[in-house]
Amino acid sequence: MRYLFGGTAADVAEDASGVRVPGATGSVWTGPGEGASPVTDLLALDGAPMTQLVADASGMLPAFYGPEGVTRLYADFGGARVALVAVDTADRLSEHQAAADPHGSTAAAIEAIQARMGRPLGFAQLDENGKVPASQLPPCPCQTQPPTA
């Protein structure tokens, strides 16, 4: 899945002194430091390939899609590289919270409970009289032998 970047009031092209630069052309990187790699696998909102960012007449960055699975990128307009975080995080969180079982934890929990059904120290299953059978009860501490001296 490609995540959405840019296009917000916080996404601007700035020079090294922090001044907006209308029409600035910048590059996108995997990180802020020397070991980072340039990123050219970008898509415009219409799906057209992009290899760099071009600010509009107000110095604002356009909305674009980053590479598959990436949620943080770094923009460089000649000053320090600035982090760009995917702007659709809230949408993705809402979708995740609305999903039936996004982590598969329900199935795992059911399996764990079923494995302990009807076992001592597990989850009791009542007999036909509505009682817990003795076979499902934990051993009574009174039945243990005291240590020998």
In a domain, 6, yes or no: yes
Task: Say whether both 26 and 81 belong to one domain.
Answer: yes
Distance CA 61, CA 6 (A): 6
- Does 139 score more than 80 pLDDT? no
Q: 79 and 19, same structural domain?
A: yes
Query: What is the reported pTM?
Result: 0.62
83 and 93 housed in the same domain:
no
pLDDT (tens digit per residue) in 65-117? 999 999 999 999 988 899 999 988 767 667 767 777 777 787 788 788 888 88
Q: How far is CA 90 from CA 7, 34, 86, in A?
A: 15, 31, 10
Query: Is pLDDT of 147 > 70?
Result: no
Query: Using CA atoms, how far apart are residues 98 and 135, in angstroms rounded to an integer?
Result: 42
